[in-house]
Structure 1
Amino acid sequence: MKRAEIFEEVQKIFRKVFDDEQLEIKDSTYSGDIEDWDSLEHINLIVAMEKRFQLKFDIQEVGELENVGEMIDLIERRLNGQ
């Protein structure tokens, strides 16, 4: 799966988790940019991404993510077996 395709899927996940069809993310988006993005919603995002991409993240990987771009990069690496 190409990065642009992953980005589109992640965009859909964000819109669903935050119940906002108008929500626009970019690589630099981080938790401070979205009012309702707290620790519980972060877990909901991770679980939704694990389901969508059929991946399992470890706590260290998730803890090191600083923004949406890093999240997408991680998904891309994992999907490509790295």
Structure 2
Amino acid sequence: MTDRTAILDTLRAQIESFNKKGIEVTEATTFQGDLEWDSLTVMDFVAAIEDEFEIIITMNMQAEIETVGQLADAVEKLKD
């Protein structure tokens, strides 16, 4: 299992508690469009991801991340 695969698995597990619509989560899943998260949900989720991976996701990075795949790329980059 690659690091990225492990990151995606962890992200999917973290998303589950926030996935009120119960949609299938793929790399193309968008946080705002598909999951319909509001800003408070995003902040809670980002805090959970930061704790899980022991990283800091800046507000600028958050603004650029729209999909699960983009988040996986960002986490992988920040972990290095």
Structure 2 counterpart of 1:13, which letter? Q
2:76 corresponds to 1:76: yes
SS at structure 2 position matched to 1:44: helix
**Cα separation, 2, equivalents of 1:41 and 1:50:** 14
Segments of structure 2 that go 5 or more residues without pairing to the other structure are none
**Farther off after superposition, 68-77 or 11-20:** 11-20
**Cα separation, 2, equivalents of 1:27 and 1:12:** 13
Segments of structure 1 that go 5 or more residues without pairing to the other structure are none
SS at structure 2 position matched to 1:28: coil
Query: Taking every aligned residue pair, what percent have the same amino acid on both sides?
Result: 26
Corresponding residue number in structure 2 for 1:12:
13
Deviations along 1:18-71, whole A, 9 cap, x unmatched? 367x54311111121124x11111111111100000011111011111211101
SS at structure 2 position matched to 1:17: coil
Contact 1:17 1:44 in 2 (8 A): no
Paired residues in the alignment total 78
